[in-house]
Amino acid sequence: MHKPSTKTKKLTAALATPVAVLLAGGMVWQASYAAFSGQTRNSGNEWSTGSVALTDDDNGSARFVADNMVPGATETKCITVKATASVPGTVKGYAVNAKIDNEGLAQAVKFTVRSGTGGSFASCDGFAAENTLMQDTTLKNLAAVNSYNGGVGDWAVVAGTQTRTYEITWEFDTTGLTQTQIDNMQGDLVGLDFQWELQSNPNPS
């Protein structure tokens, strides 16, 4: 029987090597994809912010303009505030832009503020009081309530649209003053802006 020469054996071994490499590579490729798998997904996650807005029915007009005021003068008017919110919040009222030319006059002009329903900027007809927010508070003391944190009212707003009416009464009260003190208030001016602010409630921890 003819035996392969040494040269033939080397050639056969050389040819067999690439085939072995290809077969081994194919086994590795199949092994890398041969696995069990499973998946699950929670889709559509989004984060959006809420919103709060506050308006009133003054149409850009001052609530009070009292010219040529004399001792004992008084006036009562209303304003309606509307809150529109997508989240719960709290409305508070306070004073801004205070102007005090005469300390005595700032002590003599006093305010009573009540909150409730009905009435409007045009007229207090139909106003029904629910709470008294301040009683005979001097303009000087009211001017010191000048931030949301120190504000009054604590109107709890829920998501949606709601309104509240504020009845404001001022009086030029000179009770207990001397004639000289009263005369010293002639020709002077005091003023301030009423501001309401709505803030969303803190996120519960």
- The enclosing domain of 152 has a CATH number of 2.60.40
Can you give the pTM of this predicted structure? Answer: 0.78
Q: Is 44 helix (H, G, I), strand (E, B) or coil?
A: coil
Closest CA to 80 of 56, 104, 63: 56
Is 46 a member of any domain? no
Q: Are 118 and 126 in contact (CB under 8 A)?
A: yes
- The rounded percent of the chain whose pLDDT value lies above 90 is 66
Domain membership of residue 37 (yes or no) is: no
**Residue 16 covered by a domain:** no
77 is a domain residue: yes
Residue 28 lies in a domain: no
Q: Tell me, what's the pLDDT at 61?
A: 84
Residues 93, 164: contact at Cβ < 8 Å?
A: no
The model's pLDDT over 155-190, given as tens digits with 9 standing for 90+, comes to: 999 999 999 999 999 999 999 999 999 999 999 999
Residue 99 placed within a domain:
yes
Mean of pLDDT over the chain: 85
Classify residue 140: in a domain, yes or no: yes
- Show the DSSP H helices in 51-157 as ranges: 103-108, 139-143
Question: What is the DSSP pairing of strand 109-117 with strand 52-56?
Answer: unpaired
State the virtual CA torsion across 109, 114, 120, 121 in degrees, nearest 10: 20
Task: Look up residue 51 and give its amino acid.
Answer: S
E strand or H helix at 190, and its extent? strand 190-200
> What pLDDT is attached to residue 22?
43
Of residues 21 and 145, the one with the higher pLDDT is: 145
Q: Domain containing 109: what range? A: 52-59+71-200
